[in-house]
Structure 1
Amino acid sequence: MKNLSRLLFVAVLLASFSTANAQDKNNPWAFSIGTNAVDFYPVGEDIPQGDFLDEFFNANDHWNVLPFLSRISVSRYIDDGFTFTVAGSLNKINKFGSNVDLVTGEETTNRLPDLDYYAVDGTVSYSFMSLINSNKIDPYLGVGGGYTWVDDIGAGTLNGTLGLNYWISDKVALNLQTSYKHSFEDRLAKHFQHSAGVTFKFGGVDTDGDGIYDHEDACPEEAGLEAFNGCPDSDNDGIEDSKDDCPNEAGLAEFNGCPDSDGDGVVDGSDKCPTVPGLKSLAGCPDADGDGIADGDDGCPNEAGPSANNGCPYKDKDGDGVLDKDDKCPDVAGTVANDGCPEITETEKAQLNEYAKTILFDTGKSSIKDESKQVLADIIAILNKYPDAKFTVEGHTDSVGSAKLNTRLSEERAASVKDYLVANGVDQFRLSSKGYGEDKPIADNKTRAGRKQNRRVEINLAN
């Protein structure tokens, strides 16, 4: 008995580090060790036995107890609270009921020489643990049969069992049990067998160590959560990895576990502007001016404008009635007819040619005389007022001399004026030159005055 007490103490000490919550289906196997007591008295028979259940707890007078490990059992959980148990036990029988002195009425224990007691029993029991909604107190009823020997006398028995397990951890319980063994053979008396011991459950497999046994674990090789039947939720967003489109980033259920950092309803993976709230129609980017162009692509993010103008509003900086987008001269007021560029007036056209006619050349040459520099400056001033206009410098001669020579001289003089104008700031692509010789007189070549008028340079708008 002293050794059994030590065994029970060690079992309780080890179990105290666990949480009590027995689950037979998770740990289908169990073995029990303990001691047993055999009582032949309260079985409803004549003296030396007694009435049924009379003095049931009179251990001192009626119980045969072997004071060391004397019972061992192995159990296998079946299903729905049912367990099958095979037990073996041994004992020494030296008490067999009571004798009563007919004179004094004194009752004394009926003593026998130590008889060897052996029993092998099989029991199917039903646990009421789930019915009483407890995870520690585990009462059960059982029925079964076995074979019992007392010395050389053996007989089969029909057994009824009542027991109680008190689970002090998920795998260790203290056990108390009593069984009524009914023998149908006179050579073996009916009797009760009581036992006390410790039960150890085993056999549950938890491959991934997540506390959920493999047979209940939907992901038995990956540590997971009970809420997801053992499957993992790597990013802890409440969505198991198998249903999470972004298993390594905490996200929202509405986006299948993917994040939306800026809360604009566009998941980060599809959001071109994931840190700034925007519009779904613009892939999550903002449109401050509401013109349908994302701020990052909008030339004027704070002013609504059409995409054709890069998100900027159409303007007319020079106020000439031609929008800047169509205005070839957006900084200078012009006319609609001339695409927003200023048009040279008839007065200035006439003035230009009056100036041009006074340009002087060396006789018979194309070189310009120095005294013509001022008039050329006046011409340049007029040309620069109209930066988009193109002009033709035309050279003319009188009819004196050969026509061929006159044509060449007129071409050279027109080119000389053009070169001078370009050299002094006029865009070369705005100017062209042409010589007409004596073909376009403006006066009679028969008079000196007429010939003087015909020797001239004109500057006209290009067609």
Structure 2
Amino acid sequence: MKHLGKLTFIMMFVFAITAYAQTKDNPWAVSVGTNAIDFYPTGNGVGEGTISSEHIFDELFNAADHWNIMPSFSKVTVGRYLGEGFNAQFGGSVNKITDMGDIAVDDLAYYSVDAAVQYSFMELFNTKVVDPFLSAGVGYYWLDGNGDATFNGGAGINFWMTDNIALTLDSSYKAAFEDSGVNHFQHAVGVKLGFGGTDTDGDGVYDKEDECPETPGLKEFNGCPDSDGDGIPDKEDECPNTPGLPEFNGCPDTDGDGIPDPQDECPEVAGTKAMNGCPDADGDGVADHNDDCPNEKGPKENNGCPWPDTDGDGVLDKDDMCPDVAGTKANNGCPEVSDEVQKELNDYAKTINFATGKTTITKDSEEALDAIIAILDEYPNAKFTVEGHTDSVGSAKNNMELSDARALSVKNFLVENGVDEFRLSSKGYGETKPIKSNNTRSGRAANRRVEINLAK
């Protein structure tokens, strides 16, 4: 019954260390090899449980005199990776004992089962081949039908020839729980085969190390692809299907202007950052492909072309109310009505005649009116007032009404013959603004007049 309790303890320990590591990405390892049992360095060969320092270092590797070697495959170990350099190990071995220290015995049968936690220094040393380790655990052995549980401590090394195959060497000391047990060393050499790692995308990089586990990739990029072969993995490449440069996160700069193609509005022509990669030959702030005058500076509002000044008066057409007629800046590009012109208008206006006592313009006045229209056309943005005047003959009321009607009649004639109505107004002054004395015939004739004056 006491053996059953010890075996139960060992099985619980095995379950604990293996169940802890059950994840799909943790690889398994199986090793198969031969083992040697040595009782000599532990004492006098009868299991007293004391270690003789005199003999441990002198006789530990005296295989010829003290080791019990089973040359065939006599030890099997199954392991699972726990993470952070730790592995769980469970194994069993058989042997035939002919020497217990210096005492020869008659082929005693030896069996053992062991469970251990193993710490590998491979990750710590950042090596892929040499894999030294330490181990600690428990076990149970049977020797000629009698057995006992043991505390086990050991060390060893794996030499990984490939990612999956290693030559493994280990040595462990097994100290019996009970004084009646036999302390001993067990040495082993074998071949270890690693398996069980998941490689979903089949690119040769296990999922636990694969940064792109569902997309086939390259080992140098931790399992991620580089579709365009520019040395930048797709997950970091903003242009994964076009070879590019690291400084542009994998995007090309075809024209070499320092602006990557996706941000370059003119990717095949060198330009400036201010123009989003497009050139601006004349430096007017309008990119050449949008500039109607790429070699001549001009504002954006005119598509990169300078504003014209058709009449050459120094007022640009966009600001010139008379773009085809030279004028002055003060008059928005239109010519100004001079005193001479004003006098000329009124010289013609004085010759306009009406039927006696009526507002009807006589036929002989048309020549003067045509001359007036020609002058008004030269000043297209100027506004004028048509003024009617009478002499003092008759009532002031009638004279006012008559002058107002005659001024309106002249205005209507001018409008009907092409002068814009908004430029003209009319007003009658009757006898209130004489220019001569109404006491003489010539004076009254001068006072009966029409004037066309610039509206101030």
TM-score under structure 2 length normalisation: 0.61
- 1:367 counterpart residue number: 360
Paired with 1:351 and 1:146, the residues of 2 have a C-alpha distance of: 133
Deviations 1:372-417 (A, max 9, x none): 2222112211221222222221222233322211221111111101
1:239 deviates by 8.6
Alignment partner, residue 89 of structure 1: 93
Give CA deviations for 1:20-67 in whole Å, capped at 9, x if unaligned: xxxxxx8575443456577999x9999xxxx9433899xxxx86556x
Give the counterpart of 1:354 among 340, 344, 347: 347
- CA contact 2:403–2:430 (8 Å) conserved in 1: yes
Q: Which residue of 2 aligns with 1:393?
A: 386
- Equivalent pairs counted in the alignment come to 408
> Structure 2: which 5+ residue stretches go unaligned?
1-24, 46-60
Cα distance in 2 between the residues matched to 1:412 and 1:131 = 115
Contact 1:394 1:435 in 2 (8 A): yes
The answer to whether the 8 A contact 1:234-1:247 is kept is no
Counterparts in 2 of 1:301 and 1:406: CA distance versus 1, 3 Å: farther
Q: Which residue of 2 aligns with 1:453?
A: 446
Q: What is the 5 A alignment of 1:313-352?
A: 317-320=310-313, 327-335=320-328, 338-352=331-345
SS at match of 1:460: strand
**Residue 404 of structure 1: aligned partner:** 397
Range with greater deviation from structure 2 (447-456 or 416-425): 447-456
Deviation string, structure 1 residues 306-340 (Cα, Å, up to 9, x no partner):
79999776775534455666654343223455454
Give the 3 Å change call, closer, same or farther, for CA 173–450 of structure 1 in structure 2: same
C-alpha separation in 1, matches of 2:188 and 2:289: 86
Q: 2:425 aligns to what?
A: 432
1:117 is aligned to 2:110: yes
Among the aligned pairs, what percent are the same residue?
54
Residue 64 (structure 2) pairs with residue 54 (structure 1): yes
**Partner Cα separation in structure 2 for residue 347 and residue 238 of structure 1:** 83
Taking structure 1 as reference, are residues 174 and 283 closer, same or farther at Cα in structure 2, changes over 3 Å only?
A: closer
Following TM superposition, by how much is the alpha carbon of 1:217 offset from its aligned partner in structure 2, in angstroms? Answer: 8.1
Give me the whole-angstrom Cα distance separating, in 1, the residues matched to 2:221 and 2:131: 28
For 2:64, the aligned partner's letter is D
* 2:117–2:136 Cα contact (<8 Å) kept: yes
Q: Deviations over 1:127-151 (max 9, x none)?
A: 6868998645657787988654342
Report the alpha carbon displacement of residue 126 of structure 1 after superposing the two structures with TM. Answer: 7.4
Cα gap change, 1:328/1:164 in structure 2, threshold over 3 Å: closer, same or farther? closer
Matched, 1:170 2:163: yes
TM-fit CA distance, 1:354: 2.6
Taking structure 1 as reference, are residues 173 and 371 closer, same or farther at Cα in structure 2, changes over 3 Å only?
Answer: same
Give the Cα separation in 2 of the matches to 1:73 and 1:298.
Answer: 80
Structure-2 residue corresponding to 1:32? 31
Separation of aligned partners in 2, 1:430 and 1:286: 49
Question: What SS does the corresponding residue of 1:90 show, helix, strand or coil?
Answer: strand
Q: What is the Cα deviation at residue 366 of structure 1? A: 0.7
Between the aligned partners of 2:363 and 2:83, the Cα distance in structure 1 is 124
- Note the aligned Cα RMSD (angstroms): 6.0
Pair 1:273–1:191, CA change in 2 (3 A): closer
Counterpart for residue 384 of structure 1: 377
Q: Which structure has greater helix proportion?
A: 2
Displacement after TM superposition at 1:458 (Å): 2.0
